[in-house]
Amino acid sequence: MTLLIVRAPGALTTVQDGGRPGLGAFGVGRSGAADLPALGAANRLVGNDPGAAGLEITAGGLTLAVTARAILAVTGAAAPVLIGRPGQAPLPAGTHARLVLRAGDTVTVGSPTAGLRSYLAVRGGIVAEAVLGSRAYDSHAGLGPAPLRAGDRLSVGAARGPLPTVDAVPPPYRPPGPVELAVWPGPRADWFTPAARRLLLAQRWRATAAMDRVGVRLAGARHLERAVAGELPSEGMVTGAVQVPGDGAPVIFLADHPVTGGYPVIAVLTAAAVARAAQLTPGVAVRFVPGG
Amino acid sequence: MRVLGCGPSALLVEFAGTDARAAAAAAAWLDRAETARPAAVTDLVPGARTVLITFDPAAVTVAAVRAWAMGLDAAAAPARPESPPAPLRIEVDYDGEDLPAVAAALGMTVPALITAHTAALWRCDFTGFAPGFGYLRSDGWAHTVPRLSTPRTRVPAGAVGLAGPYTGVYPRATAGGWQIIGRTAAVLWDERRDPPALIRPGRAIGFVAR
């Protein structure tokens, strides 16, 4: 069986797949890849099902060695990819393309120049112990395989189905300027003043360093003012919800968000916007735009 | 009952009335929804007075799910020929750090509080916060208890706590702001068990002093 041996784990590299949907009533969130389209693209390039288990690499720094011939792809953030081969200088490879590694090769995903999370898929998928039907690491609930450490050995599954004829796909376009996130009105938009609802769309926001797989906290010149005082009885939350705690600074919920919460949700991101939000880095400017 | 928009792949059903009435209406609606659940609905998540519906927008439109949700309001309750299961008994050592302070705040002696807590029949309205953490409410418990102003960085697994009108049992050690009145050895969450969560929405629970 082919193994991937972790030479360097990076700051935070976790096994992720399509997650474990349908368990909210047990208090278990869906989790899974924060940027699902990126994981899907990597998997499709190597002929896997889109939700197959791969690696989510946060801020780069991962080096893996392969024990046998392996077919890989790296998508997500714009990051350098290097193939190390014994006796040769490192070979620059690319993201969004199918890579073929020989036994003994290493692959390194470097620090991103744009975006935050890289996704590495291997043909056959990562074989790790499934919890409640998924191999995803849920950082909030503490479910699934622990983040990677140096020396870890990951098993690769058997390839299923053919390789696609396409061996490279265009990376997502990142226009200059603030990252635009399309939103629908949230269930508690009426908990905010009309001025606050306008401000949400008019103000230039900034992603702060307070970000992880649970969510991204935003800062802005002015905070969002409530029309309804008091606490919100706990209700179910969705990925992509823009939740506004008491201080009026919005938080965008990502894959490991709490299943229920007591702060009002003023807006909800589209799926495409969630993928962009999963790639925000501290300091990046953000604008909400009407979606749907 | 009203249905609130919640983005491209979810809707939030909300019930009116007192906390108790809304929780009961949500539970009844959830019961009907689970019986008649289309494949495109991916999850039903109860809250204090709501049920969140998530669905696959590639398989069904928001409008169709909204119509389904509204239709369930008028639908007859499904026949429940079997009597509900007996309440789950959870044994508790009532020796929590906050027990004296909570009793004093409620104007009761500690023994009286324990008697009241064990006499009440509790029901899980919804879960959240952590896998297996249920928010338990009882019509026989009218007290409201504030959260700690400074949450503890570590509450041990099995701690029994109070916050607002609810009782909750921590399935694993986490940070927590609930007032701790005791602890149980019951295993609230085991990912390898079927079902993994001991306390699920709708479950009736009774506490027993050890």
3 state SS for chain B? CEEEECCCCEEEEECCCCHHHHHHHHHHHHHHHHHCCCCCEEEEEECCCEEEEEECCCCCCHHHHHHHHHHHHHCCCCCCCCCCCCCEEEEEECCCCCHHHHHHHCCCCHHHHHHHHHHCCEEEEEEECEEEEEEEECCCCCCCECCCCCCEEEECCCEEEEEECEEEECCCCEEECCEEEEECCCCCECCCCCCCECCCCCCEEEEEEC
**A237 contact residues in B (CB cutoff 8 A):** 52
Looking at the complex, report in whole angstroms how far the Cα of residue A269 sits from the nearest Cα belonging to chain B: 7
Beta-carbon separation of A25 and B200 below 8 A: yes
Q: Enumerate chain A positions whose Cβ falls within 8 A of a Cβ in B.
A: 21-28, 30, 131-132, 141-143, 184-188, 233-238, 240-241, 258-261, 265, 268-271, 291-292
Mean pLDDT of B29-56: 95
CA distance A251 to A33: 18
B17 contact A CB<8A: no
| Nearest Cα residue to A271 out of B131, B2, B54 | B54
Structure tokens given for A28: 């278990």
pLDDT at B16: 94
pLDDT tens digits for range B3-12: 999 999 999 9
Of A23, A25, A141, the CB nearest to B201: A25
Look-up of token digits 């606050």: A196
What is the separation of C-alpha A102 from the centre of its chain, rounded to a whole number of angstroms? 28
Q: Residue A268: which H helix or E strand, with range? A: strand A265-269
**Per this entry, what is the length of chain A?**
292
Of B5, B132, B134, the CB nearest to A185: B5
Of A21, A27, A30, the CB nearest to B130: A27
Of B6, B14, B191, the CB nearest to A143: B191
Structure tokens given for B29: 């609606």
Measured between CA atoms, the residue of chain A closest to residue B22 is A233
Measured between CA atoms, the residue of chain B closest to residue A30 is B43
Beta-carbon separation of A234 and B134 below 8 A: no
Of A184, A235, A271, the CB nearest to B47: A235
Mean pLDDT of B131-140: 94
Looking at the complex, report in whole angstroms how far the Cα of residue B96 sits from the nearest Cα belonging to chain A: 25
B5 contact A CB<8A: yes
Residues of chain A with pLDDT under 70: 292
Whether B149 and B185 have beta carbons less than 8 Å apart is answered as no
pLDDT at B153: 83
pLDDT tens digits for range B152-200: 889 999 999 999 999 999 998 888 889 999 999 999 999 999 889 999 9
Where does the pLDDT of residue B20 fall: very low under 50, low under 70, confident under 90, or very high at 90 and above? Answer: confident
As for the ipTM of the complex, it is 0.95
| Sequence-ordered list of residues with C-beta below 8 angstroms from that of B176, at least 6 positions apart, any chain | B151, B152, B155, B159, B161, B170
Q: Which amino acid belongs to residue A175?
A: P
Beta-carbon separation of A238 and B49 below 8 A: no
**B127 contact residues in A (CB cutoff 8 A):** 25-27, 259-260
pLDDT at B195: 87
Structure tokens given for A133: 């039907």
**CA distance readout (Å), B53 to A20, A215, B11, B45, B193:** 16, 21, 5, 7, 26
pLDDT tens digits for range B73-116: 765 555 554 567 789 999 999 999 999 999 999 999 999 999 99
Beta-carbon separation of A21 and B52 below 8 A: no
Q: What is the percentage of chain B residues whose pLDDT exceeds 90?
A: 80
Q: Which residue has the higher pLDDT, B162 or B151?
A: B162
CA distance A115 to A121: 18
Q: Residue A63: which H helix or E strand, with range? A: strand A62-66
CA distance B166 to A225: 29
> Whole-model pTM?
0.93
